Each structure stands twice: as C-alpha cells, then as structure tokens.
Amino acid sequence: MNFSRLIIFGCVSTFTALPVIAETVEDAYIIACPLPQFDEIQSDSDLGKNELKITSKSSEIKRNHLAKFSGGVTLLGQNQKVVAEDIEINQQTYAVNAIGNIEFQNQGINILADKFVASQASNATTLSDTSYQLIGNAGHGAAGSIEISGEGSLSLKDSTYTTCYGEKPAWQIEADEIRISAANNSGEAIGAKFKLYDVPVMYVPYFYFPVTNERKTGFLDPKLGSSSNSGVKIETPFYWNIAENMDATITPHYMSKRGVQLMTEFRYLTGLQSGKIDLEYLNKDKDVKSNDDARYLARFQHTGTFADNFRAYVDYATISDDNYLVDIGSDQYNSNDAYLYQVGELSYFNEAWQASIKLQDFEVLGDNTPSYKTIPQVEFSYEQGMPFANGIFDIYSEVSRFESQNLEQNDAERYHVEAGMTFPIATPAWFLNSELRLMQTNYKQIDIAPSSELEETVSRTLPKARFHGGINFDRPMYWNSNFTQTFEPQLQYLYVPDEDQSMIGIYDTTQLQDDYNGLFRDTRYSGLDRIAQANQLSWGVTSRVLNATNQELFRFSFGQIIYFNDSNIGLQNNDSSDQVNAEESALAADIFYQINDQWQFSGDIQYDTQNSVANKSQINIDYLHSKNNLVQLNHRYTRDVSGNTLEQLSLLSSVRINHEWQLVGRITQDIQEKRSLESYAGIQYESCCWAIQLAYHRHINSYFEEPDNLNENRNEFESGFMLKFIMKGLSKQSLVDATNMLDSSIFGYKRPYFLTN
C-alpha cells in the first residue's frame, strides 16, 4: 500500500449486515435460503488506487512514521474496508496491523478475525483466527488464517467450507488448505475430509469445485441407481468447460451386470450455428454371453443459419444393435422407439422462392420392414402475388430417389411438380379460400419383382379443386363477468378425380391422423405416393367462450366429412382399412375447458356413427396449483392398432409437502390386458445447501427379436431405483426441480397449454 496520502476523520463508521424482508408470498421460499447482504464499499472518486481513507475517534503519530488510530476505526481503500478497535500503519515497512473485533470486506468476501496484517511489500493481506462469508454466494466457514493476494485470491489454512447454516451443517469440508479464486470461479481443497452432520464420511487428498453457478470445469453431482437389466448403476459426470463457446461432459457409467460404459456429450456454439455430439460406448457387455462385440450409440445434431439465407440441419444417429435401448437405455431415445432418425438438410430461402436438398434414412430396429432412404430429395417452391382478386400463384416441385437395403424391395425415382392458384378472402366476420391446382408425378421404378403389380414407369396427372369458407358470429354473455361467446361454422368442398394408383409403390407415404382439424385437410396421406380420390364436403362447428381479455376459457368443436362416392385409393391394394366405403366419416369432436387458473379439461373423440363405436378418444384432466403441485389424469383409447385395441389410463402427480419435501408419482394401466405398464414414485428433499432425490420405477420391458439372440435373460418387467445427491456450492447445479423426475418415466410429462402458473 502507498501511504503517501492519509485522509483522517474524527467520526465513527458502522459496518452491518442488511436483513432480507419478504414482500410477496412467492418470496417465502427464497427467504428460506437467504444470502447475507452487506453494506457496499463506498468508493471515493478522489481516492487513488493505493490510498487510504481512515475514520476514528482518536489518532496519534509516533516517530514520524507510525500512525495509530483507536476507537471504532474504519479504514477504507479503493476496493476494501477494515473495521477494528485499533489500527497501526507503518509508512517505513508499508504494513497495516489491526487488532480487536476486526471486520474485513472486499468485493468477494467478508471476514471476522482477531488479527489483521497487510503488507505492500508482499502484496498480500493475512487474517488470523477467522470466520468468513463469500459475498453473493452461500459459501462460508472458518480458518486458522486467511491470506488474500493482490489479485483477490484466497488461501484458507486449517479451514472449513460449506453452504449450509447452523451449528451442525448438513455437509461440510474440513481441509488443510482451501484456495478460492472468485475471478476464476474456482475452489481447490487439499487434504479434505467430507462430513455429513459433523460425521466424517470421506477423505479426499485433492478436489476442485466451482464457487458460483457459472460454467466451470469439474465433477458434477454423482448419480446412483439400479435396474433389473443392468444391476447397480453409478454415474460420475465430469464437466469440461473447454472454451466460451464449447464444452463437454464425460461420464463413466458403471453397471454391475454389464461393465463400465463411457458416455460423452460435446456441445458447441459458433455464431448462428450450434450442435451436439453424443457418444455412448460399452466395450464388452458381461451380461451377453453369445456376443463379444462392443455396444454403442452415437448421435450428431446440428442446426444453424449461415450466409444470410442458408440454413443447415443434421440429426444422425446410429446404434450397435436393436436392443441397446432396451437393455442399457439412453437419454437420446426412448426404450420403446422402433427406429433412429437420420437426416441432413440444406435450405435456401428467398423472398419469393426457396430450395432445399435433403438426405434421409431410418435405422429400423427389430424385424420391422426396412424403410426407404431418400438420397437425395431436392425441393423447390415459388410463390408470387397475382394482379387480380388478391390471388397467389405458387409452384412446388420435387425430385426424389428412394433406395432400400432390403433386396426384396425395389428402388424408385420420383419427379413431381404442381402449380396452383389460391384466392384468399379474409375479414373479421368471414373467410373464403378458393384453390385450383394441377399435379403431375412421374415414377421410374427399378428392379421390380416379377410377381409385383408395380410398373416400371408411371405418369399420374391429377387436378384438385378446394373451396373452404366459414363465418364468425359472436355475442356477449353476462354471467358474473363479461364474456363473449362465438359460433363459427365452416364448410369445405374438395374434389380430386379417381385414378388407379396400385402400380405405384409406397416409399414415403402413410395415412394421416383423423381428428377435427383433419376434416379440413386437402389430403388423407403424407407424401405423394397416394393422392386419394375426393368428392366430399366437410362441415364443422366451433363455439368458444372468451373472457374480457380475449383469453379462451372454453372451446367445443365437432364435424364430419360427407362422401359423395367411394374411394378405392389405399396404401395397399389388399388392405381396405384406409379406403373410403361409407357415406360419411367418423364424427370428430374436441373440447377444451379451462375451469379456472388451476383446473383444465381437454379431450377429443372420433366416433363412427354408422357402427356406433368410438374409433379413438383421449381425455386429459389437469390440476396445476403451482409448479411443484400438480395432478394429471389421462385416458387413451384406440379401437384398431394393428388389429388390437389400445386402452390406457394414467395418473401422475407432484405434491410439495413443505419447503423441503416433495413427492412425485405416476401409474399407467393397460385396461384391455388388465396389467400395469408403469409405476413410478419419487421423493425429494431440498434445503438451502443440499438436495437428494430417490425414485423407484417398474415398467414393462419391450424387446426386438434378433437372429443372434443378443440377450438371453431379459425379463418381462424392468424395475430399479435412482438416487441423486446434490451439494449446492460444489456443483454448477444449484436448484432441483422434482417434476423433472417424471421425465424419467417412459411416458414422461406433457405440460398442459394455458395453465401457466
């Protein structure tokens, strides 16, 4: 320190902590975990970097170089503050000594000590017999001595560190030395003992930890669990903060039945480009006796915009064997997934036109029929306004090549172009959209089997006419408040002529879902391999109730399609399940009712009026009192899924008992088979400084038949537990959301729209 300038005042300065006061109910839980707050260091614009400002009741100068200040002394530097009973300053040795009820504060720490020595020669400050509190952080403890370097780094000898408060902290580290650097967001402990409620449980010669929630290289919270498929499981993730725009998480994953798996996640962000690479690798699975091959999963995801108008998207995944997800599991996919998506796309966007090139494939798991891969698919579209009737002229064209790894399936090339005119009219009271379109598709089908009905070359030309209109009525409602009720009928006529398409293979086409919104689509299929004949009229009615701020509180819609002739256009010639041989479609309806800010009901149904049976239905009841207090009940029914009836009932709930304890649970029943599909229960305890999650799961096991019988010992059900322990202040994860545990269940949790508490 430079003592060429001392500013002395005969007044008393105080140094106190500020209380935290609750203003709202939502603040209650925050106040349960307060961070101590202190008076800010009051800087003086006239005070230089190495100059001091001192206030005291009395002062004296000895031998012209030793200044002594007594009685409530406050020493204020540019970025630090010392309060003591007595302070001595030696201008020859450039040292400051303080004794008696010492309080020291800089921008990173507040310290209470019995002795204080600051030396400009060593550019360091040493305090003895101390207790300390990090500023802006819950970290605190005690130390035999604390040394503060000129850069603000701390060295704590014979010290303790915790983020818990109380006489017996829930967890505490005792170490020969703890080094803390606020500038580098890092802490180091040497010769450390880890204690739980003052009981030593672990000795660690050295470990490294962050002191804030910023990204920092180091170990993350370990995770302990078990499953009947893999045995006891232990994950010890290590986080690597490589650079400002990239990081990686490396996780050794021990499974007592299978061995040690290495999981890595690498993330990057460059400008408007971002991506992630995941790799999971198990060199030898001990539970598989008939196969010595490694088991792995790899996935690369990238998205971004570059060169103004270009966008790139990649999602590529591959897997070692069909039952990897069933046996080992992964956060990348669900264990019930039957394929892995593989796609790469490059697109260009202009004001009037856009183009894209896409490579697409599916890695099909099990004995399912292999899907066609698209190598490539080139799309071009153009749209231009017309000078009359507010019309829009557009062109869409596509060139695709389809290949299959199945030698029994033929390859194909498809050339498609369609041009059309749309005349949209829209007003607040009504709308009418008219569309006329001509579609031309050419196929070149290669290596057709002799017994196949397919033809080598096919040309298909189809016109399409579509007219869709509706009227919006509304009227005021007075029922305890001001509401508005709407009545919105709509009609659509669609015409596509009949043309035999049985000589065309199925390459990227499937039947679309039937629901209320589907009544007003212009096609029954995705893709272009089937364009269904249509001579039909769709009708529908929607009624809504809106509050004074136009928030939708209630909606009910129902409608149907009336067919004026039959359609023999199906995906397969011998399968009539998706062909139209009726006068009308199923009656489709959906309902939404937000009872209040906490309760919501929604559902939809497709009901076959001719046969008096429901084809599909789904009902959801949601209660969301707060983020951590919710209940969701849903029922799903489908009459025909590959010839089987599907009916499931599911109940999930999250209940916060108090500020510390929370319960979550889920149960899903198969009504038709009268069995449980999944049971999940979890409990969480969270305090200001630590948290623990414990969950138990049991769910039905799916598997894929394989020629090599990769796993001979698979059970019908998988069960196990998960344990996660989090020490706040030693991990970049500081808060725990117990509802995230529901995502670990096979069905997950779908948060309802409009319930936004």
Say if CB 111 and CB 127 are below 8 A apart: yes
**What residue numbers bound the domain in which 27 lies?**
6-212
Last residue of a domain, one of 212, 230, 258: 212
Residue 491's pLDDT band, with cuts at 50, 70 and 90, is very high
Beta-strand relationship, 124-134 and 109-119: antiparallel
| Nearest alpha-carbon partner for 684 in 659, 652, 704, 706 | 659
Q: Is 657 within the bounds of a domain?
A: yes
- Long-range CB contact pairs, 593-602, < 8 A, 24+: 593/553, 593/554, 593/555, 594/552, 594/553, 594/554, 594/754, 594/755, 597/755, 597/757, 598/623, 598/624, 598/625, 598/755, 598/757, 599/623, 600/624, 600/752, 600/754, 600/755, 602/752
Whether the predicted pLDDT of 459 surpasses 90: yes
Q: What is the pLDDT of residues 653-668, one digit of tens each?
A: 989 888 889 899 989 9
Q: To which residue do tokens 């494939």 refer?
A: 361
Last residue of a domain, one of 212, 239, 262: 212
What amino acid occupies position 248?
A
Say if CB 377 and CB 360 are below 8 A apart: yes
Q: What is the pLDDT of residues 116-174, one digit of tens each?
A: 888 776 677 888 999 888 887 788 889 999 888 766 678 889 988 888 887 788 888 89
By the 10 Å C-beta count (0-12 exposed, 13-18 middle, 19+ buried), 592 is classed as buried
Say if CB 120 and CB 94 are below 8 A apart: yes
| Nearest alpha-carbon partner for 649 in 616, 618, 692 | 618
Highest mean pLDDT: which range of 20-34, 335-349, 357-371: 335-349
Q: Is 727 within the bounds of a domain?
A: yes
Residue 520's pLDDT band, with cuts at 50, 70 and 90, is very high
Q: Is 630 within the bounds of a domain?
A: yes
423-438 as b/e: b if 16+ CB within 10 A: beeeeeeeeeebbebe
Say if CB 113 and CB 96 are below 8 A apart: no
Look at the alpha carbons of 28, 30, 32, 34 in this order and tell me if their dihedral is positive or negative. Answer: negative
φ, ψ (nearest 5 deg) of residue 221:
-65, 130
Q: Is 491 within the bounds of a domain?
A: no
Q: To which residue do tokens 């067919």 refer?
A: 563
The CATH number assigned to the domain holding 197 equals: 2.60.450.10
Say if CB 291 and CB 267 are below 8 A apart: no
pLDDT at residue number 608: 87
What amino acid occupies position 438?
L
Residue 29's pLDDT band, with cuts at 50, 70 and 90, is very low
pLDDT at residue number 151: 67
Q: Is 171 within the bounds of a domain?
A: yes
Q: Is 233 within the bounds of a domain?
A: no
Whether the predicted pLDDT of 458 surpasses 90: yes
Whether the predicted pLDDT of 582 surpasses 80: no
pLDDT at residue number 725: 78
Last residue of a domain, one of 155, 189, 212: 212
| Nearest alpha-carbon partner for 752 in 597, 608, 605 | 597
Q: Which of 202-211, 310-319, 435-444 has the lowest mean pLDDT?
A: 202-211
Show Cβ contacts of residue 675 under 8 Å, excluding neighbours closer than 6 positions: 669, 700
Q: Which of 11-20, 49-58, 500-509 has the lowest mean pLDDT?
A: 11-20
Q: Is 368 within the bounds of a domain?
A: no
Total count of domains within the chain: 2
Q: Is 527 within the bounds of a domain?
A: no
Q: Which of 175-189, 312-326, 608-622 has the lowest mean pLDDT?
A: 175-189
19-55 as b/e: b if 16+ CB within 10 A: eeeeeeeeeeeeeebeebebeeeeeeeebeeebbbbb
pLDDT at residue number 757: 43
Mean pLDDT value across the chain: 82
